A and B are shown apart, each in its own frame.
Chain A
Amino acid sequence: MITIDRLSKSYRTVQGPLEVFNEFSLDLEEGRITAILGPSGCGKTTLLHMIAQMEGYDSGAITGVPRSGTTSVASLSYLFQEPRLLPWMTVFENVDLVLQNHLPDRHERHERADQFIELVGLSGYAHLTPKELSGGMKQRAAIARAFAYPSQLILMDEPFQSLDADLRFQLIAAYGLLWQHNPRTTLLVTHDIQEALLLSDTIHVLSSRPASIRGSIAVPVDRGSRRVGNRDLWELEMNYYDKFSARG
């Protein structure tokens, strides 16, 4: 289990310190998808950065983040808002690159890269460079990279937001399917309740700065039946609006 314990973080700005987190605590259950739902600018991305050791924090502790080998480097997959593929490499090479330090055996590595490219439905496009792909295909390639990478934790920073509605739900479904075959501890940050309901087991609703958890929603709906318009998800969505939106 990953534990975030009384984490505090503030930025220095011209107008004085900007408090993003003040004694923020949260547990991430192993092998589950946890969603953090919050307004823009409430520090969701900062939270992911701190877990990924891309940013420091002022006080508190984050424990239980899987390490790679015997090092102190966090071993995790990161899905960014943008696909962040290397433009001078093909889809295949982009996936293969992140595996290099983990699978020294070339044959094994290529097989794994191919396997995950196939799982996201990009088999015929592995030899293309990102600029030859559509936005949705690029994000699929990024998802293949995230799952092919042998990590125990996946961090997702609104990776579906830049896509139009149809494509977004398609990709969320594809992601859900892939996750079911390779369940890993996942933290999804989003400001979209539907996205959170479709993907996660637990949703924590965040307040604006400094962020605190206003409440949590469990999503006890079978993954196989999760789709837009599902009655149970729809009820959870209505409950969410009743409980959290009226005040905002």
Chain B
Amino acid sequence: MKHSTWRNSLISLITVVILLVIWQIASVIMDAQIILPRPLVVLQEFFSFFASPDSWLAIGATVLRSLRSFAIIMAAGLVLGIAAGQNTAFGAVMKPILSVIRATPVLAIILLAFLWFKTGTVPVFSAFLMGFPVLYQNLIMGLSKRDTKLLEMGRAYGLDGRQLLRYITIPSLLPFILAGARGALGMTWKVVIAAEVLTVPRYGVGSSMQYAQMNLETATVMGWTITAIVLTACGDLLFDAIDAALGMGMRSRRSRL
């Protein structure tokens, strides 16, 4: 078991190295920086961002927009998801709205939002519309799988409504909330950056990508792409840490209530 996970990590690492080598060989053969810059040049470009205040402003703006959007998703998703779980009529109201949002192409939402809002708001709004259904759907699933037998037990032993919520409903929903939040945040990064590319607010990772693309600075576009990947990975790592902390909490909670 341990041996095979170690072996699989090695295989993954070798795959990455092979892909980089192929990239290097292709860029040398093509010998056209505009089409395919060399990996080292892209990496240099990526690290050069750290030295430039403007790059930090761009990254900061994108992170702020994403977090703002994510916060709204969490608030709206939890309130509306739980409301729909408690009240089936409300769930029925939400259903067609969700279906329409999910079926609408991201770009259509961004373009429409561009007509309605000022530049900086478009990424936040678009990411909210794309990320919200992810959290909402997870919550609905969690509520539908809720163990009514445990609630029955709680009521039989005289727990009040507040205790049922705190000790039974919320802990049983927690894995679904976390999975939904993780998916929503992943979606948020992508949509915020896409909306920035299209609407070009003053600062933003997407705006910087757009400028670089117009100037045919392919290495810079790729450098910003790496930045976007790193941001998404940071979000994932954050959720991994939360998952691990909760798992540890379960085990090490020898302390008493």
Q: Judging by beta carbons under 8 Å apart, are B155 and A54 in contact?
A: yes
Interface mask (A97-115 → B, CB under 8 Å = 1, otherwise 0): 1101100001000100000
Q: Judging by beta carbons under 8 Å apart, are A98 and B167 in contact?
A: no
Q: How far is it, in angstroms, between the C-alpha of A144 and the C-alpha of B243 when the chains are bound? A: 31
Q: How far is it, in angstroms, between the C-alpha of A217 and the C-alpha of B131 when the chains are bound? A: 65
Q: Judging by beta carbons under 8 Å apart, are A110 and B256 in contact?
A: yes
Q: How far is it, in angstroms, between the C-alpha of A23 and the C-alpha of B152 when the chains are bound? A: 27
Partner of A101, one of B155, B158, B250: B158
Q: Judging by beta carbons under 8 Å apart, are B157 and A78 in contact?
A: yes
Q: Judge whether B149 is part of the interface by a CB distance below 8 angstroms.
A: yes
Contact of A76 with B256 at beta-carbon distance under 8 Å, contacts A82-B149, A86-B167, A129-B250 already known: no
Q: Which residues of chain A in 22-68 are interfacial with respect to chain B, using CB atoms and an 8 Å cutoff? A: 52, 54, 68
Chain B interface residue count, CB cutoff 8 Å, equals 21
Q: Which residues of chain A in 143-163 are interfacial with respect to chain B, using CB atoms and an 8 Å cutoff? A: 145, 149
Q: How far is it, in angstroms, between the C-alpha of A84 and the C-alpha of B151 when the chains are bound? A: 9
Q: Judge whether A73 is part of the interface by a CB distance below 8 angstroms.
A: yes
Q: Judging by beta carbons under 8 Å apart, are A97 and B257 in contact?
A: yes
Q: How far is it, in angstroms, between the C-alpha of A88 and the C-alpha of B166 when the chains are bound? A: 12
Interface mask (A167-206 → B, CB under 8 Å = 1, otherwise 0): 0000000000000000000000000000000000000000
Most chain-B CB neighbours within 10 Å: which of A77, A90, A149? A90
Q: Judging by beta carbons under 8 Å apart, are A96 and B156 in contact?
A: no
Q: Judging by beta carbons under 8 Å apart, are B256 and A96 in contact?
A: yes
Q: Judge whether A21 is part of the interface by a CB distance below 8 angstroms.
A: no
Q: Which residues of B contact A92 (CB under 8 A)?
A: 256
Q: How far is it, in angstroms, between the C-alpha of A101 and the C-alpha of B166 when the chains are bound? A: 14
Q: In this complex, what residue of A is CB-closest to B175?
A: A88
Q: Judging by beta carbons under 8 Å apart, are B153 and A78 in contact?
A: yes
Q: How far is it, in angstroms, between the C-alpha of A137 and the C-alpha of B251 when the chains are bound? A: 18
Q: Judging by beta carbons under 8 Å apart, are B156 and A101 in contact?
A: no
Interface mask (B158-173 → A, CB under 8 Å = 1, otherwise 0): 1110010001100110
Partner of B159, one of A52, A89, A101, A127: A101
Q: In this complex, what residue of B is CB-closest to A89?
A: B167
Contact of A77 with B157 at beta-carbon distance under 8 Å, contacts A96-B256, A97-B257 already known: yes
Contact of A100 with B163 at beta-carbon distance under 8 Å, contacts A82-B149, A84-B150, A149-B157 already known: yes
Q: Which residues of B contact A89 (CB under 8 A)?
A: 167
Q: Which residues of chain A in 211-232 are interfacial with respect to chain B, using CB atoms and an 8 Å cutoff? A: none
Q: Which residues of B contact A88 (CB under 8 A)?
A: 171-172, 250
Q: Judge whether B253 is part of the interface by a CB distance below 8 angstroms.
A: yes
Q: Judging by beta carbons under 8 Å apart, are B158 and A93 in contact?
A: no
Q: Which residues of B contact A52 (CB under 8 A)?
A: 156
Q: In this complex, what residue of B is CB-closest to A92?
A: B256
Q: How far is it, in angstroms, between the C-alpha of A165 and the C-alpha of B152 when the chains are bound? A: 28
Q: How far is it, in angstroms, between the C-alpha of A179 and the C-alpha of B256 when the chains are bound? A: 27
Contact of A54 with B171 at beta-carbon distance under 8 Å, contacts A90-B253, A93-B257 already known: no
What are 26 A-B contacts defined by CB distance under 8 Å?
A: A54-B155, A54-B156, A75-B158, A76-B156, A77-B157, A78-B156, A78-B157, A82-B149, A84-B150, A86-B167, A86-B171, A88-B172, A88-B250, A90-B253, A93-B253, A97-B159, A97-B167, A98-B159, A100-B257, A101-B158, A101-B160, A106-B256, A110-B256, A129-B250, A129-B251, A149-B157
List of 7 A-B pairs having minimum Cβ-Cβ separation, nearest first = A78-B156, A98-B157, A84-B153, A88-B171, A127-B254, A96-B257, A52-B156
10 more contacts with CB within 8 A, not counting A78-B157, A80-B153, are A52-B156, A54-B155, A68-B158, A77-B157, A80-B152, A82-B149, A84-B149, A89-B167, A100-B257, A127-B254
